Structure 1
Amino acid sequence: MLTLYNVSELSVTEIRYLIVCSHPSDTTRSPRPGEENGKDYHYVTREYMQASIDKGEFIESAVFSGNMYGTSRASVQDVKDKNLICVLDIDMQGVRAVKTTDLNPIYIFIQPPSMSILEKRLRDRETESEDSLQKRLHAAQVDMVISKDPGIFDVVIVNDSLDDAYGKLKDTLIEEIKKVQKTNLSS
């Protein structure tokens, strides 16, 4: 299992699709232009998601800008059953929640080269209100400080360009797959 964390950058979603067609998370927010239910996210009602969380059906969940986000146990199991790499694109709350489970993912932080570049990328998306954008930038600053704590992430990739970030991520995955194969052969 692979856990990707980023600070509100569009590119991590693109990177995720370059790796493997992963099972999307659930959210209570409305789809952005061009997003599709079941592809980008599973768009659900707040009531449905809260009831599912209360029943323990999510391995992680968080609230950001008034919207709920989360990863269901069923979606992770579905990917595992297909012998695919399960990729979780989660926030810092999600990282902490997954660390309390019996899952053993590789934790990778994909960070922007700078806060000013992150702000430009977010503004260029034209999907955020000014208030939402400022909340994302503040959260990103806090998370970038937390990400330096020992033991949070196994790998940190600076997202200077999509191609370079993807190349570094691919190299990391190849190395991890080799380790798993070596362990499985010696078992």
Structure 2
Amino acid sequence: MRGTLFIVAAPSGAGKSSIVNAVLVRDPNICLSISFTSRKPRPGERHAEHYHFVSREEFEGMVAAGDFFEHALVHGDWKGSARQSVEPQLASGKDVLLEIDWQGARQVREKVPDAVSVFILPPSRQALEQRMRNRGQDSEEVIAQRLAAAREEMSHYGEFDFVIVNEDFETAVTEMCSIFIASRVRKDQQVARHSRLITALLADDPGP
């Protein structure tokens, strides 16, 4: 049967990547789709592990070729999920997680209405700013731009199926794992997975 597509989005600094990485360690039944981006790697980021880093020209060429499952312009840089990273895995029955922004999530929901989406919120705007500063990777100008964009991003939380407030990291990770587990035992999923069992259980008693 076809796998489930999970979407996780959050404003920059809300702890999305840290939560997702922890969930991937706990849940071996889900794989992460590595996104493409036209931005430069940040310190510690590695190609094909955190992102597929390509030039703006390469990215736009992929867009023109229809290679993306979804793509969006985020903070002046392109980000997107390639079809070859998503569709084959879903078709083979694997669950796939997309770590994207709300714009990409909206595109995905139009193509895959039964995708399960999660939005992560910070516990406060002060905490969000502090997390951005603790990275030590961005200038004051970039931090100001990200804070301004965060409010707009957070206003789209209502478009998602689930909302997690990342106040306590371990709690947030547990909540996300619970969402994934619960989604796999939805009625339609279980009927498809256990159709023979259900048929046998409901069959007329054949007698001795």
TM-score (norm 2): 0.81
Tell me, yes or no, if the aligned pair for 1:23 and 1:79 is still in contact at 8 Å.
no
The separation in 2 between residues aligned to 1:43 and 1:169, in whole angstroms, is 27
Runs (5+) with no aligned partner, structure 1: none
Partner of 2:11: 7
Asked if 1:139 corresponds to 2:139, the answer is no
Match of 2:117 among 98, 104, 107: 107
CA-CA distance at 1:78 after TM superposition: 4.4
**CA offset at residue 57 of structure 1?**
1.0
CA change 1:72–1:103 in 2 (3 A) is: farther
Gaps of 5+ in 2: 25-30, 197-208
- Distance 1:78-1:16 versus aligned 2 partners, 3 A rule: farther
Counterparts of 2:165 and 2:130, CA distance in 1:
16
Kept in 2: contact 1:65–1:132 (CA 8 A): no
* C-alpha displacement of 1:99: 1.9
Deviations 1:65-85 (A, max 9, x none): 321111111111243356432
What does residue 182 of structure 1 align with?
A: 190
Report the secondary structure of 2:98's partner residue. strand
- In the other structure, the counterpart of 1:44 is 54
Taking only aligned residues, the RMSD between alpha carbons, in angstroms, comes to 1.8
- State the number of aligned residues: 184
Secondary structure of the structure 1 residue equivalent to 2:155: helix
Aligned-partner residue type, residue 70 of structure 2:
E
The SS at the match of 2:79 is: strand
C-alpha contact (below 8 Å) 1:9/1:121 kept by paired residues: yes
Q: How far did 1:146 drift?
A: 2.6
SS of residue paired to 2:114 = coil
Q: Aligned-pair distance for 1:96? A: 1.4
Offset at residue 124 of structure 1 (A): 0.3
CA distance in 1, matches of 2:154, 2:115: 20
**Deviation, structure 1 residue 26:** 0.4
Aligned residue type for 2:110: T
Q: Match of 1:2, SS?
A: strand
Deviates most, 74-83 or 110-119: 74-83
Cα drift, residue 140 of structure 1: 1.2
Q: CA deviation at 1:161?
A: 2.1
Give the letter aligned to residue 155 of structure 2. Answer: V
In the alignment, does 2:174 pair up with 1:167?
yes
**Does structure 1 retain, via aligned residues, the 8 Å contact 2:14–2:166?**
no
Larger deviation, residues 4-13 vs 110-119? 4-13
Q: Deviations over 1:52-108 (max 9, x none)?
A: 111211121111232111111111124335643211111111111112213531010
Moved beyond 6 Å, runs of 4+? none
**Paired-residue identity, %:** 32
CA distance in 2, matches of 1:173, 1:65: 29
Normalization by structure 1: what TM-score?
Answer: 0.90
